[in-house]
Structure 1
């Protein structure tokens, strides 16, 4: 059976006991970032696929809301974005900005879902008056990334 013990960060180590069992010592740190716990490896990189860090990011939540609200509109469940805003108790412009996210380029959407979009890309950068052409959207993202 596996046993996890937390001790001070050290060097990786493998110990073999006389009965053939192996003990693997992997130095990691657990840090909090944006309210999530992340495993930091000895080289300073963040470990991917962390089950306890699987909470949705604000961008992912906004994207999901936009798609849900667009689906409600397309299905005839509501007649306008204004009606969605009234139902949800939010501002009309907020609903409009979230629906704008449904028109993003597939690679930008994938980066949002994979949480690989750089931290300096804000919801505002993507949702407010996005260009209709995907290439122009990519250029806008690049401009935000370039200081």
Structure 2
């Protein structure tokens, strides 16, 4: 129920709140624009994934392929993807990172000087050792 007043209380006690927004379509997506024609600055689909985020996603996808039996080996994944098998191995290694490290990769809050090589090569098994490595990198 739209009304000209910002808030309207009906006789049955329900409250109707009017919010002055507009819906627009851009490239097949619906956008909500604010009264001053401003578009929200942070839209998840507009952010570009970092190289670490992409590597982590690849590692999880490839591990899932192995676990499901879709592929028999890392070498088979490498052949399918057209990459070196050591690269596949390093990306799968990322799936064993400590949960807080994974969260910082996904949130893009990991320190900028930490590289994919720092995380994927000779990765310690224990999460505490992984955290220590990141602190001293």
Fold equivalence (TM over 0.5): yes
Provide runs of 4+ in structure 1 moved above 4 Å: none
Q: In 1, distance between residues paired with 2:129 and 2:42?
A: 33
Q: 2:89 aligns with which of 85, 96, 108?
A: 96
Name the larger-Rg structure: 2
Q: Deviations over 1:14-65 (max 9, x none)?
A: xxxxxxxxxxxxxxxxxxxxxxxxxxxxxxxxxxx73376111100000000
Q: In 2, distance between residues paired with 1:3 and 1:62?
A: 37
Aligned to 2:36: 2
How many pairs were matched up?
Answer: 100
Q: 1:50 aligns with which of 31, 35, 42?
A: 42
Return 5+ residue gaps in structure 2 as ranges. Answer: 1-34
Q: In 2, distance between residues paired with 1:127 and 1:119?
A: 16
What's the Cα RMSD here?
Answer: 1.4
Higher relative contact order (CA 8 A, sep 6+): 2
Q: How does the TM-score come out when normalised to structure 1?
A: 0.65
Pairing of 1:1-147 with structure 2 (within 5 A): 1-3=35-37, 50-51=42-43, 54-144=47-137
Return 5+ residue gaps in structure 1 as ranges. Answer: 5-48
